[in-house]
Amino acid sequence: MKKFYEVALLEEEGLGTAYEYYMKQRLLKRLFRKKGQPGSFCVFGLPEKYGTSMDFCLLANELKAPSVILLDERAEAVKKCSTAVEKLKERKLIPDSLARVKEGLSLNGAKYDLITNCDVFQRFSEAEALEMIEGAAASSKLSVFFLPNGYNINHVASPGRKAIDPVDFVKKIEKKVKIINWGYIDMPPFPSGSKISAQKRNAVRAGALSFIVFFILKLWAVIEILTPAFIKKKFSHAFYLAVQGKQSC
C-alpha cells in the first residue's frame, strides 16, 4: 500500500488513489492466476480526472513485462502522463525502457497480452465506448476495464465525467464480447475527492502514523472483498469489466 501512496503523491493525488491502485492490483493478479500472466501491456486511454494510471506501470514492472504502451488522445493528458513516467524512472520504480506514452487512441493493429484502462469510457458516447471495448478484445488475450459506478450514492458527477450504469452497460457489451467477470471495486473508508493538508500527507509517508494508516487501509481492503455485492453496489467508486480477448493464448 505504501508504494502506491508514494506513486499517488508523484501524480499529485492522495490516499484515495493509493487505495484504488491497491485494490485494482489485487483484482488483476487474481485474474492473472486464472488466465495467465501477461507480457505486453497497453493502457488504452488515461483517466478523466484522477491520476495517470502509473499503477499499471508498477504492476508490469513487478511481473517483469517487457513493455507498457500508454495511449491517450488528449495532448495535455499525454504530457501529464509523460511527466509521471519520468518521475517513476528517476525514483527507480520502473526501468527506463519499460513505458512509452503515445498521443492517440488507435491500436493500429498492435496485439497485446493485456489491454486495460481506468476512468476512461465515460467521456465517450456509449456507442464509442462499446466499439473501443470490441477493438480491445480483438487485439488482446485479456482486457480489463475500470469504470465509474453509476449506482454509488455518494458519487458526484463533474462536467465531462459522468458515471455509468453497470448493469445496463454489461447487458449491452455482453452481446458483442465474452465477459469473464464483472463486479464492484474501490470502496475506501472516505468519500471520493477527499483532501488532506500537505502537512498530513507528509506525515502519512513515514513514522507511526504511516504504519497505522496503511494497516487500517489493508484491513479495510479485506472488509471490502468480503462485503456483499448489494452493499458494494451503493458505495464502490467503480466497477470492473474483464473481457476475454480474441488473440490466441
Residue 229 lies in a domain: yes
Task: Evaluate if residue 104 carries a pLDDT over 60.
Answer: yes
Domain that holds residue 21: 2-244
Q: What is the reported pLDDT for 157?
A: 54
pTM of the model: 0.92
CB 121 within 8 Å of CB 132: yes
Residue 19 lies in a domain: yes
Coil vs helix vs strand at 48 = coil
Mean pLDDT over residues 228-249, rounded? Answer: 90
Coil vs helix vs strand at 160 = coil
CB 239 within 8 Å of CB 149: yes
Q: What is the reported pLDDT for 211?
A: 82
Coil vs helix vs strand at 127 = helix
Report the distance separating Cα 102 and Cα 144, nearest Å.
20
Alpha helices per DSSP H over the chain = 2-10, 15-35, 54-62, 75-90, 126-138, 166-173, 198-204, 207-226, 229-235
Mean pLDDT over residues 174-197, rounded? Answer: 85
Q: What is the reported pLDDT for 217?
A: 94
DSSP letter for 80, please. H
Task: Evaluate if residue 226 carries a pLDDT over 50.
Answer: yes
Residue 101 lies in a domain: yes
Residue 50 sits in a domain whose CATH number is 3.40.50.150
Task: Evaluate if residue 106 carries a pLDDT over 60.
Answer: yes
Structural domains counted in the chain: 1
Residue 142 lies in a domain: yes
Residue 249 lies in a domain: no
C-alpha cell at 168: 445496463
Task: Evaluate if residue 225 carries a pLDDT over 60.
Answer: yes
Mean pLDDT over residues 117-137, rounded? Answer: 93
- The residue with cell 502509473 is 54
Mean pLDDT over residues 166-174, rounded? Answer: 94
Residue 178 lies in a domain: yes
- In this prediction, residue 160 has a pLDDT band, given cuts at 50, 70 and 90, of very low
Residue 108 lies in a domain: yes
CB 15 within 8 Å of CB 209: no
Concatenate the DSSP letters of all residues of 200-228 into one string. Answer: HHHHHTSHHHHHHHHHHHHHHHHHHHHS-
Task: Evaluate if residue 143 carries a pLDDT over 80.
Answer: yes
Q: What is the reported pLDDT for 200?
A: 64
Greater confidence (134 vs 199) lies with: 134
- In this prediction, residue 85 has a pLDDT band, given cuts at 50, 70 and 90, of very high
Cα angle 126, 128, 246; round to 5 = 110
Residue 94 lies in a domain: yes
